[in-house]
Structure 1
Amino acid sequence: MDNSPSAGDEPPVKRRRRARKACNPCRDRKRKCDGREPCATCVQWEYDCYYGERSAAGSHAPSPYDSAKGRPRHEEADGWAPGPRPGLRLGPGPALGPAPAPAPAPAPAPAPAQGPRGPAPQQQRNFDPVRDSEATNDNHVQSLEANSGAAFVRRLGLNIDPKNAPRLRLFAWNTGERLAGHPPGVVRPITGILSQAAMVELAQVYFQKFTVVYDVIYRDVFLDRLQQRWASGAPQDPLDQVLCGVAMLGLCFSQTTAAPFEPDLVETGRTLLEHFSLSSPPSIDTVIGWVLRVAYLRITATPHVTWLASCSLMHVCEAAQIHLEVRAQTVFDESSELVSLDIRRRIWAMAQHLNIWPSYDLGRTRIKLPHATTQPVAPLEGDYTSHMLALVPLTEDLDPHQPRSVEDLESDFSQIGDRDHLEPAMTMAVTNLAICTFRRLRAQKATIQPGHVDKMLSLSARGLHAARRMVATHCPWHHAANMPFQILCLCLAVDTRASLAMVRTALSVLGEVRDAWNSAVLREAYDTAYLLILLHQRRKEEDCGQLRAALEMHAPSDGAPPIVQPSSSHQDASANSEAVWLDDLFTNVPGLREFDMEQFLEDDPFNMQDLGFGGAA
């Protein structure tokens, strides 16, 4: 008898199973609901779980998230939260606080039966637009959150202790809001704010400390124009846009607190930039002035203000056609100003750099100009600016709107140089890019290669050393605060012996940065880091308690070592008794006879000396 299935005996189509009832938040978001109250999805993402119509007020305890919009109740528009309004929404996806739960994997279809003429036609997978849309959106949100330091810290806290996790916030984004508490600035001529001698002194600080990694101005040309500006006595000049930016950064890198006239300088520079940006096309002085202003804001202002200014910078670059190295013949080309190829490439790369990272941190869209022809900056030996800006292509590849496979991310991570740079700001830039790429790998649930973990920890150790050098030389780069905090959180997330050994150093460095600039932002970051370590330690102790309870419950009646808390007086005795007991265990269990216990106890999978720690705190 022919037992092969007929054409009509095709395997039944697997259909999605849903709970008989779903809570309102899961039904609104089309999420899987288990029908409980509260359901697992609402517990995981902190939704306010309820069924049917809302009962009288007060029947449900208020949730930290609004059930209608999924926005955190405790997100306050204090300027340091990642957004101007409560409920940071990352791009077109859902709010960052409660990210969507991952879509359930579809059950595999049964294998086609073999007939006398070969395999039967395979059952085509049913097209499910909701499922496919959810899977695509989940991948996008995972990449979006992995790029953001704020989201990474929030996720870390939720994984350790959902009840006490720090709220969504960009901790240690820089050394603090420099002009906080100062009265608003007044627009004045720059020659009335600074004398020529004071301007020259601030310019010297600028060229000595800032242009090491952000060199977009020819020093000799600038100093000549500076002298001519004070000699002219004019109330206003296009060069004033650049002079204000240079003076602002010079003050930032020479004085711990803002000078009394610094708000006037900042306000004058902003007003001049907005005025001269109205001309078509903007001059190169206007473009450079915007670059310097955004760089100053990245070091001294809030994330939202910096992101808005960086978007304006990109649009000014477009208006000045900085992004077009090879221009097309078009009637729209009205620019007659000549810009050297080297300066054009540096300005364009720096504008991208200043716009991309705030966009990633806030989970917002970066400005991308299509058909840009300006080439990336090629790294030159001894020129840290070229090395810094040469990282921009790798940074662009992390755009969450562009799918990146695990293989692509591993290739990107391998391209990040691991040599030690003499300039701390360059070391920090490399470490920041490596940390973001590493977070993306973890977000995709990839199996991290041991070599990548070793490289990440090695770069982190160098980043911590660079932060200490920034404190010693009074260079308030934003990464001086940001990197120690992010490194500490990454070490807790990796959760290995080597990474946890680095936590002590990271917290110590963060404390040194806090003491150096003594801002509310840094004090909050240090307290948050301390809280994360405390929560992590508490979870470890609870895990150890569970293991100890299991050992006590199932301990053999004789021959087992007593289970006691480790102390200096019992360590030797416990070690000896445990060694005897383990020897008996390995002798009695045939499957363990080939296991080299001595080698297992002596080996340390991570060489801490190679990471530059030794035994120091």
Structure 2
Amino acid sequence: MSSSSHLPNTKPETARLRPRRACDECRKRKRKCDGELPCATCTHYEYTCQYEYSKAARASRAVHTSLQTSPTDRLVAPRESFPTDNLVPTGGIEQLSSFLDRGTARFISHASSISQARSLGLGLGLPEPPRLHSFGYHTGVRKEPERATSAQLPQLLPWGQARDCIDVFTAVIHPVFGLMDMEYMCQRAREHWQASPEGLEFSFDAVISGIVALGSLFSNLLDEEKELQVVLHAKALLDDPVISRRPSQDLVVAWILRTIYSRATSRPNVAWLHSSTTMNLIEITGIHYNEVPVAYGAENTGPPPGHEGDERARITSVAQSLHVLIAYDYGKTITHLDPTACDRIQPRPGDFTLQLSELTNKVFTTTSYSDPISHQAQLLQAMEQLMETTVDHDFLILARAELCFAIHRRLRVLGLGLTGQQIKLIVAAGTAALPAARRLSAQHHPWWNITNALFQFICACLSVGTNETLANIQPTVETFESVTRHFNTHLTREAFNTALFLINACQKEKEKQVSFLQLRGLGQESGASQEQVDLSQVPIIDSPLASLFETYHEPPFIDLQTIFNI
């Protein structure tokens, strides 16, 4: 979309004089400039083309431009040209048309205050209507900060180590979160390491930093200190005020990678904030709308021809699915953009992105309802649909269980009781998750739902408290113990001990209930019957719970409030 060959030829036929000086971007990058506004180089690479001319020179160029393009031409320009600030109809996203600001990669509705001045200017037929800009947004008493990041990843890590981490990411993580063309991404990464420091592009540097960090997390190819350096470098890039000022598709991808890493290593509120930021960036850039051209990083022209629509659908779908998994588990608001994005994804061999989208799409309807009974029916239907969805990756089996347990928590909040079907679905989801957790932990792949699904399954079984659910306590604890041996960390031990603590509390509660059933203080007439029934032989609790504490001793007191409010 960004190729200069797609732009209409608006140059006059007369010979052009040699430009007195290059534009700011060409001069900075030492590229050939043709002196136009925008010049061919800036048009091709989607730079913001500007000149440090005098006011008279700018006014002269404005008159020259207005003679070439009328206001009507701007409104009905061919779709393949997409000149800067052109009106782009949005169809199903908004009822009114919206602006795509190619200079800053902003996708802005006519309802926005940012577009009001330009909309008014176009309506008045001005040859040069005001640009898309936040006129009067604040008083401007403080200047915007300058770029705070100067170092780039090739200065922190040799190409060989980076390539190994990219290979791990491609083999382990990308099959589930398939948002890129990894062959093309590897080619860009190789060129990134070969480029001069002046030619490196910051938003892509954030992308490759996220890939390397995740590859290291799932392989330990980098030591923990070096991995932390890469993570902090990506954070510095994404939080940089200048880089974030102009969102691009690379920036969105980098935020998705940051969200995956934070979900696997950080706290629930951090992961949710990162996923929410990603969703907002997608809305800003318009990636979720298939008809809107998107600005890529400054140094590249986007994905290979024919793959742009698929890649944008994948980015939208992966970001949306990741956001649902995090927000639904955390009990936070879910942002909805385009639940049909998965319909535009082209299948790839060994890729499970479509299955991920199918899973998370099942919970889109489980919002709030005024009628609790209708809400219960909707939630139960969502759980049934989840369990009917075919998934072929261990991570997705665990994710499906997590979503079922999250629905179970919402059903309990309604206080309408449990159905036999709900209990069967919870047991089916949990029992399918046990072998998946064992396989992933044996591979030393630290997917977050290995421990989360097991802990939530134990909690669900204890909260239901029937023989059908309590029978799964023993195998789940054994699986949890195996996972703890593979990932012997503070968090896994803490979760395992808390699960045992809750089981012990449940056992004591059942012992108390059994004591209420013991018959005492009856007359001699009932003595014969007491001799016939030896109450000491009555089992205290179901055998799965009783056998647990032959092996595991009661752990010390644990402050549950501290644990669950992390």
Q: Is the pair's TM-score, using the shorter chain for normalization, greater than 0.5?
A: yes
Residue 473 in 1 paired to residue 473 in 2? no
Secondary structure of the structure 2 residue equivalent to 1:464: helix
Distance in structure 1 (CA, Å) of the matches to 2:472 and 2:398: 17
Match of 1:301 in 2: 266
Q: How does 1:159-558 map to 2 (within 5 A)?
A: 188-234=151-197, 236-237=200-201, 238-255=203-220, 259-275=224-240, 278=243, 281-327=246-292, 335=295, 340-368=308-336, 375-377=341-343, 383-400=351-368, 405-418=375-388, 421-446=391-416, 448-549=418-519, 556-558=526-528
- Asked whether the 8 Å contact 1:187–1:268 carries over to 2, the reply is no
Distance 2:285 2:511 in 1: 60
TM-score by length of 1: 0.56
Q: Which amino acid in structure 1 is aligned with residue 167 of structure 2?
A: Q
- Aligned residue in 2 for 1:40: none
How far, CA to CA, are the matches of 1:341 and 1:552 in structure 2? 80
The worse-fitting range, judged by mean Cα deviation, of 261-270 and 350-359 is 350-359
1:436-475 deviation digits (Å, cap 9, x = unpaired): 2233233333454423322321221111111111110111
One-letter code of the match for 2:187? D
Gaps of 5+ in 1: 1-185, 328-332, 572-603, 609-616
Report what 2:537 is aligned to.
566
User: Bigger CA drift: 235-244 or 548-557?
Assistant: 548-557
Given that 1:277 and 1:286 are in contact with CA atoms closer than 8 Å, whether structure 2 keeps it comes out as no
In the TM superposition, what is the alpha-carbon distance from 1:407 to its structure 2 partner?
Answer: 2.0
Question: Shift of residue 419 of structure 1?
Answer: 6.8
User: Is the contact between residue 552 and residue 563 of structure 1 (CA under 8 Å) also seen in structure 2?
Assistant: no
User: In the TM superposition, what is the alpha-carbon distance from 1:231 to its structure 2 partner?
Assistant: 1.6
Shift of 1:415: 1.2
Higher helix residue share: 2
User: Percent of pairs identical after alignment?
Assistant: 25
Structure 1 residue 323 displacement after superposition = 2.3
Q: What 5-or-longer segments of structure 2 have no aligned partner? A: 1-148, 545-551, 553-566
Q: Give the count of matched residue pairs.
A: 379
- Cα deviations across residues 411-444 of structure 1 (Å, max 9, x unaligned)? 2122113477442101111111222223323333
In structure 2, distance between residues paired with 1:459 and 1:506:
12
Q: How far off its partner does 1:373 sit? A: 8.2
1 or 2 for the larger relative contact order (CA 8 Å, sep ≥6)? Answer: 1
> Is the CA contact (8 Å cut-off) linking 2:369 and 2:375 kept in structure 1?
no
How has the CA–CA distance of structure 1 residues 208 and 326 changed in structure 2, closer, same or farther, with 3 Å as cutoff? Answer: same
1:562-612 per-residue CA deviation (whole Å, 9 max, x = no partner) reads 333129xxx9xxxxxxxxxxxxxxxxxxxxxxxxxxxxxxxx9xxx9xxxx
The SS at the match of 2:518 is: helix
SS at match of 1:217: coil
Q: Kindly tell me: are residues 344 and 555 of structure 1, through their superposed partners in 2, closer, same or farther at Cα, counting changes over 3 Å? A: farther
1:130-165 alpha-carbon deviations (Å, 9 max, x no partner): xxxxxxxxxxxxxxxxxxxxxxxxxxxxxxxxxxxx
C-alpha separation in 1, matches of 2:210 and 2:525? 71
Question: Quick check: 2:175–2:350 contact (8 Å CA) kept in 1?
Answer: no
Letter in 1 for 2:188: R
The 3-state SS of whatever aligns with 2:230 is helix
Separation of aligned partners in 2, 1:227 and 1:392: 35
Instruction: Determine the C-alpha separation between the residues in 1 that align with 2:276 and 2:257.
Output: 14
Deviation at 1:234, TM superposition (A): 2.3
Query: In the aligned structure 1, how far is the partner of 2:238 from the partner of 2:341?
Result: 26
* Cα-to-partner distance string for 1:338-384 (whole Å, 9 max, x where unaligned): 67222222211222233334334444434445xx5863447969631
| AA aligned opposite 2:272 | W
Q: Following the alignment from structure 1 to structure 2, what is the Cα–Cα distance between the partners of residues 554 and 383? A: 74
Residues 419, 349 of structure 1: alpha-carbon distance in 2 compared, 3 angstrom cutoff: closer
User: Residues 535, 229 of structure 1: CA spacing in aligned structure 2 closer, same or farther, 3 A cutoff?
Assistant: same
CA distance in 2, matches of 1:285, 1:497: 52
Distance in 2, matches of 1:290 and 1:553, equals: 75
Could you tell me whether the CA contact under 8 Å between 1:245 and 1:289 is conserved in 2? yes
Whether contact under 8 Å (1:244, 1:265) holds in the other structure is yes
Deviation at 1:309, TM superposition (A): 1.6
Task: Identify if the C-alpha distance between structure 1 residues 521 and 311 changes in structure 2 by more than 3 Å, giving closer, same or farther.
Answer: same
TM-aligned CA deviation for residue 387 of structure 1? 0.4
Amino acid at match of 1:302: R
Q: TM-score, normalised by structure 2?
A: 0.61
